[in-house]
Amino acid sequence: MLENNNNIIKRNYPVTGMSCASCALGVEKKLKQQRGVKSAAVNLADNSVMLEFETAETDAAFLKSALQEVGYNMLIEEEERAKEIQEEQENAHYKKLKRDTIFAWIFSIPIMIISMFFMHLSYLNFVMLALALPILLIFGRDFFINGYKSVTKGSANMDTLVALSTSIAFLFSTFNTFFPQFWIERGIEPMVYFEAATMIIAFVLLGKVLEEKAKGSTSSSIKSLMGLQPKLATIIVDRESQTVSISAIKKGDLIKVKPGEKIPVDGIIKEGNSYVDESMITGEPIAVLKKEGQKVLAGTINQKGTFNFEAVKVGGDTLLAQIIKTVKEAQGSKAPVQRIADKIASIFVPVVIGISILTLALWLIIGGADQFAKALLSAVSVLVIACPCALCLATPTALMVGIGRGAREHVLIKDATALEQLKRVNAVVLDKTGTLTEGKPVVSDWIWLEENLSQEKKEEYLNIIFSIENRSEHPLADAIVSYIKENKKYAEATIEGFTTITGIGATAKHNNNNYFVGSSKQLKESGEKALKALQNRQGKSIVLFSKNNNPLLIIGIRDKIKENSKEVVKRLHKMGIEVHMLTGDNVENAATVSEQLGIKHYKAGALPQEKEDYITHLQSSGKIVAMVGDGINDSQALSKANVSIAMGKGTDIAMDVAMITLISSNLALLPKAFDLSRRTVKLIHQNLFWAFIYNLIGIPIAAGVLYPFTGILLDPMIAAAAMAFSSVSVVLNSLRLSK
């Protein structure tokens, strides 16, 4: 995306090196400080920044250098190339993270075994030291680098806490390994805590790998949308056809579209007509007849006819391009919620450091130099007991178990944000076609209007209907042909003079009789029986079969409501959730479906932008909104909703944009998703409680608050055991959800 107006450039640049919300804030802050920069908005979802700057005062190269000064990099190459570089770097980062995690565990497990079963063999301390060094210096070095960056920027995050606690534990253990006599001479047993330092890094790395794997890919969803637009188009110049790139198409060009081709840009038909599949925009499975003077849209698919149309909107002005832009902006506006542990760490780290320093100072002030050993032990105990292993595990373990449970129940949950928000949702917006209904037109009624019609005649007429509809281009004809093939005995009839009446139906002759299959609008003078048969149409599409203008058969076609849709709506209402329905279908069909399902709020004829506007309106009225959809036409609304839910048999773009996917397209999974959300969020809160209760109780004891009264001084080993026990509590608590 590049705009250049009056020496002001607005462009999206990929940024590398960001790992958390504080990184994004740091990038924004640094860029906004530079001369000539009018605005800078970081999208952490796809690791990019939307920059607007004046070319007279600065340029992209200067801004790139400014970011490199604080440890980040901005890719200023041509957009497509920049995206390729970014993808290569992100893939390399994930592979490195995965490799570091595997090796961290390989080295950590022997250390844990030695510390548990051979702690009395002091010479094994050197073995643990040798095994711990690669973990801290190689596999876990990013924690120390990022922690240092965070401190220099005046903030603290989980990396800061990991770096601080592991380095203290490691340095203290290393000192005790080489200089055990220092403690022995003072009557204290020298303990080592290599397992604490290494296991923290191994656990946190595992959490990061799981988070990276679960993270939604914005770029893939945008690519899916872009893939809807063809790369080439056929334009008419001086009555000659020329194949050109769509980037070369200008407003006013005459474009030819053949059967099966995608329409390259938005325009108006000038010559010809055809049925066009607009399901990617409207969500409706039935193709729409397009005639001269009517609008066609980029990305929609021409079916059987050929037509020429004039380009009206090209490039970034097409409806498809606007959908792409809206999806990207909506995803960017919902930057991932800062990790709960990071929020806590920003306060927790300086508090723990302060308590540790205060502990050391108070011991020395009260007890003097003779109490240095106890002062140092107490200060170290504070830092060791504050190791964030349980804090780091609190969210990832709950998510692992919750996501696993969801997967077993066919509910795919992508991130913690979805879980957190879904618990608060009080309004659900459901797409009609493909979500509440099957999304495919099927024959629902087959009503013969002549009561005394013989079976032989019925079979004869059936063969004629099949032969006519098998030649017809109308989308409802396919439903009739499929129904006959599946449910009736039929044979091809010999017909003559087959003619399509655009928008009405088709006619043909058989044994000198005229037959018609098509619109029920032809019934105006067709008698009471036919009109009575239409009284209970309930939103169905009606097809008439007549012989010599005498109606013989009424065929009802509808998009069948899914079996469990009504029950799901009832369950949502019982859960206190308001249900809304959006559809691109007509008002009559929408009203029928909503009435049958007990849905009070609905909107018919809704295009993608109108669906998004509907979500925005609900949010502005104070609703926390979940959107459930299955098509490209739902992608804008899905992106705008607080929680986006896709049906598993829907389009790739809907599933990429969505935070949650109902894998089997069974709508009955929706209430289960709500229940799973509530239970998982509750579990995360419980885990955070258990992670902290040990610190809240243990830190004062580690500082020596009980020593003046009881003579009890918490040994760092006991502090480490308490920290380990808190981790075990968190894991065991998380496993309860899997049952």
CATH number at residue 242: 2.70.150.10
Q: Give yes or no for residue 186 having a pLDDT over 90.
A: no
Give the long-range contacts of residues 357-366, CB within 8 A, separation 24 or more. Answer: 358/703, 359/702, 359/703, 359/704, 363/704
- Give the pLDDT of residue 338: 36
Cα 586 off chain centre by: 30
Could you tell me if 540 and 603 lie in one domain? Answer: no
Q: Which residue has the tokens 């003078």?
A: 525
In a domain, 82, yes or no: no
In a domain, 349, yes or no: no
Could you tell me if 616 and 503 lie in one domain? Answer: no
Single residue among 27, 54, 74 that ends a domain in this structure: 74
In a domain, 261, yes or no: yes
Q: What is the C-alpha to C-alpha distance for residues 273 and 309, in angstroms, rounded to an integer?
A: 10
Single residue among 561, 587, 604 that ends a domain in this structure: 561
Among 10-24, 332-346, 348-362, which range has the highest average pLDDT? 348-362
258, 322, 547 from 296: Cα distances, Å: 14, 15, 36
Could you tell me if 496 and 506 lie in one domain? Answer: yes
Single residue among 36, 57, 74 that ends a domain in this structure: 74
Q: What is the C-alpha to C-alpha distance for residues 294 and 298, in angstroms, rounded to an integer?
A: 14
Q: What is the C-alpha to C-alpha distance for residues 392 and 361, in angstroms, rounded to an integer?
A: 29
Retrieve residue 173's tokens: 């253990």
In a domain, 583, yes or no: yes
Could you tell me if 556 and 448 lie in one domain? Answer: yes
Query: Which of 484, 479, 450, 446 lies closest to 464, judged by CA?
Result: 484
Retrieve residue 172's tokens: 């203290």
In a domain, 380, yes or no: no
Q: Give yes or no for residue 724 having a pLDDT over 80.
A: no
Q: What is the C-alpha to C-alpha distance for residues 59 and 73, in angstroms, rounded to an integer?
A: 15
In a domain, 414, yes or no: yes
Q: Give yes or no for residue 183 having a pLDDT over 80.
A: no
In a domain, 398, yes or no: no
Range of the domain at 238: 230-317
- How many CA atoms are closer than 13 Å to the CA of 19, on its beta-carbon side? 20
Q: Which of 142, 266, 342, 431 is catalytic?
A: 431
Handedness of CA 85, 88, 90, 92 (dihedral sign): negative
Q: Give yes or no for residue 255 having a pLDDT over 60.
A: yes
**What total of structural domains would you count in the chain?**
4
3-state secondary structure (DSSP) of residue 471 = coil
pLDDT, averaged across the chain: 79
**627-661: per-residue pLDDT in tens?**
988 766 777 888 888 888 887 665 555 556 677 87
| Residue positions counted in the chain | 739
Confidence band for 706, pLDDT divided at 50, 70 and 90: confident
Could you tell me if 569 and 553 lie in one domain? Answer: no
3-state secondary structure (DSSP) of residue 69 = coil
Could you tell me if 239 and 312 lie in one domain? Answer: yes
CB 86 within 8 A of CB 197: no
Could you tell me if 503 and 616 lie in one domain? Answer: no
Could you tell me if 556 and 572 lie in one domain? Answer: no
Q: What percent of the chain has pLDDT over 70?
A: 76
Q: What is the C-alpha to C-alpha distance for residues 148 and 467, in angstroms, rounded to an integer?
A: 77
Confidence band for 138, pLDDT divided at 50, 70 and 90: very high
Is 431 considered catalytic here?
yes
Q: Which residue has the tokens 């391009």?
A: 321
Could you tell me if 575 and 429 lie in one domain? Answer: yes
For 232, list phi and psi in degrees, rounded to 5: -125, 155
Could you tell me if 429 and 465 lie in one domain? Answer: no
**190-242: per-residue pLDDT in tens?**
778 788 788 878 877 876 776 566 444 434 555 555 667 788 899 998 888 88
Q: What is the C-alpha to C-alpha distance for residues 531 and 59, in angstroms, rounded to an integer?
A: 72
Could you tell me if 610 and 624 lie in one domain? Answer: yes
User: Which string of DSSP letters, residue by residue, matches 288-333?
Assistant: EEE-TT-EE-TT-EE-S--EEEEEEE-GGGSHHHHHHHHHHHHHHH
Q: What is the C-alpha to C-alpha distance for residues 555 and 541, in angstroms, rounded to an integer?
A: 8
Query: Which of 294, 303, 289 lies closest to 261, judged by CA?
Result: 303
What type of residue sits at position 720?
A: A
CATH number of the CATH domain containing 420 = 3.40.50.1000
By mean pLDDT, which of 221-225, 254-258, 451-455, 542-546 is the weakest?
221-225
CATH number of the CATH domain containing 470 = 3.40.1110.10
Could you tell me if 594 and 480 lie in one domain? Answer: no
- Give the pLDDT of residue 153: 66
In a domain, 208, yes or no: no
Residues in CB range of 533: below 8 A, 6 or more apart = 447, 449, 554
Q: Which residue has the tokens 């496993």?
A: 735
Q: pTM here?
A: 0.56
